[in-house]
Structure 1
């Protein structure tokens, strides 16, 4: 029997507002966001659930639920100790799972 469940890399899309925020970032912010994007789309679980599940992430990114009452809802990827972030949702559709970035910020 083969594993027919979708595997990474995941599809990723941006809301129009998040894409505009990304495009307005300085070059160093865009590079870090793109590096975080690469981590998220290749992760077995983009929500990094479990104890020490994000231990394999680079030291400059942490992932957590946006609201502790909604662990399966939107998540935030904090970048560079809070200099920026991505807010995203992982939709577990059977045929085409997808990450959607709804907010991007860089100081």
Structure 2
């Protein structure tokens, strides 16, 4: 736990069945890129990537943005593999057991 009473990174991550099936169907090299994106996400201090330099700490091949600008605390989209793939996730910030839930995975 952090001093504020909240759990901190590394965050727990769950996948919806649809997202897990999509991940499992990807080619091996894409799954490795997705795993690298996952590692960046679960170790981020703020999985919402809020502020001006929202994703400055991510590798150049990744960036994050809100799924809908009208919902700042809603889903986020993490682009990986230089924009060829993305995953949509929400961060459930609870005092105990906060977690990231991956709702959808796509790669082209």
Q: Same fold (TM over 0.5)?
A: yes
Partner of 2:21: 20
Work out whether residues 54 and 64 of structure 2, in 8 Å CA contact, stay in contact via their aligned partners in 1. no
Flag structure 2 segments of 5+ consecutive residues without an equivalent.
none
In structure 1, distance between residues paired with 2:75 and 2:6: 22
In structure 1, distance between residues paired with 2:7 and 2:88: 22
- Pairwise CA distance, 1:80: 2.3
- Pairwise CA distance, 1:53: 2.9
How many pairs were matched up? 106
Deviations 1:17-71 (Å, cap 9, x if unpaired)?
0000000001111001100000010011011100113111000110000000011
Partner of 2:71: 70
TM-score (ref. length: structure 1): 0.95
1:96 aligns with 2:97: yes
In structure 2, distance between residues paired with 1:101 and 1:39: 14
Report the aligned-residue RMSD.
1.1
Indicate the SS of the match to 1:93. Answer: coil
Partner of 1:11: 12
In structure 2, distance between residues paired with 1:53 and 1:83: 20
Indicate the SS of the match to 2:94. Answer: coil
1:47 aligns with 2:48: yes
In structure 2, distance between residues paired with 1:53 and 1:105: 22
Partner of 2:107: 106
Work out whether residues 62 and 83 of structure 2, in 8 Å CA contact, stay in contact via their aligned partners in 1. no
Relative to total residues, which structure has the larger helix share, 1 or 2?
1
